[in-house]
Amino acid sequence: MNIRKLKTFITSKLRKELPSKLSYHGLHHTMDVLNVCNHYIKRYNIAPEDAYLLRTASLLHDVGIISTYDGHEKASVVYAKELLPSFGYSVADIKRIGDMIMSTNIPQNPKNILEQIICDADLDYLGRSDVYPISQTLYKEFLAYNVITDEESWDRLQVKFLSKHYYHTEFAKKFRAPFKQLYLDGIKRKWGWE
């Protein structure tokens, strides 16, 4: 198992093959999730083997979006099963990686600490000050894929999602959830939905 080679391979694949309409689910998002996972690995002192699998899952969690927008997590797992044996991953490791990837599917339902970490890393930006520019990239992407029709439908979708979403790790509950709530409150205030 060589994470550096895998990272080089996946970043190259994403650069070349991601559809141009993807303004949110781009290489920058994958790298952000990997970076946040690395912080959690240090913060929670995750064992080296588990850290390796978590990093792998973060690199692959959205690769399926190359072939399909809806249900891209399943496509990512299929791709992981095809790719990872050539990088020396065992069947058991690939199963755990697949479970981590699937846990990021909305609504999130993580079953263990590694799944909690990748779920929180995937939506970490919601509780950070860069939520505003990042959410605009998702707004543009949702318009391009006809998920929404205008700013009001976008904000209604955000309110619905943010009201149901919760973080899983103690770190995110303490340091991400409060800012996410401010973001949600701001959207409601904008439209007088409070």
Specify the pLDDT at position 168: 98
Distance of CA 25 to the CA centre of its chain: 9
Task: With 0.85 as the threshold, say if the pTM is over it.
Answer: yes
pLDDT in tens, 120-167: 999 999 999 999 999 999 999 999 999 999 999 999 999 999 999 999
Say which DSSP state 18 is in: S
Cα-Cα end-to-end distance for the chain: 51
Output the CA angle 137-141-147, nearest 5 degrees.
130
Each residue of 98-123: pLDDT tens digit? Answer: 999 999 999 999 999 999 999 999 99
Concatenated DSSP letters of 137-170: HHHHHHHHTTS-SSHHHHHHHHHHHHHH----SH
Pairwise CA distance, residues 43 & 25, whole Å: 26
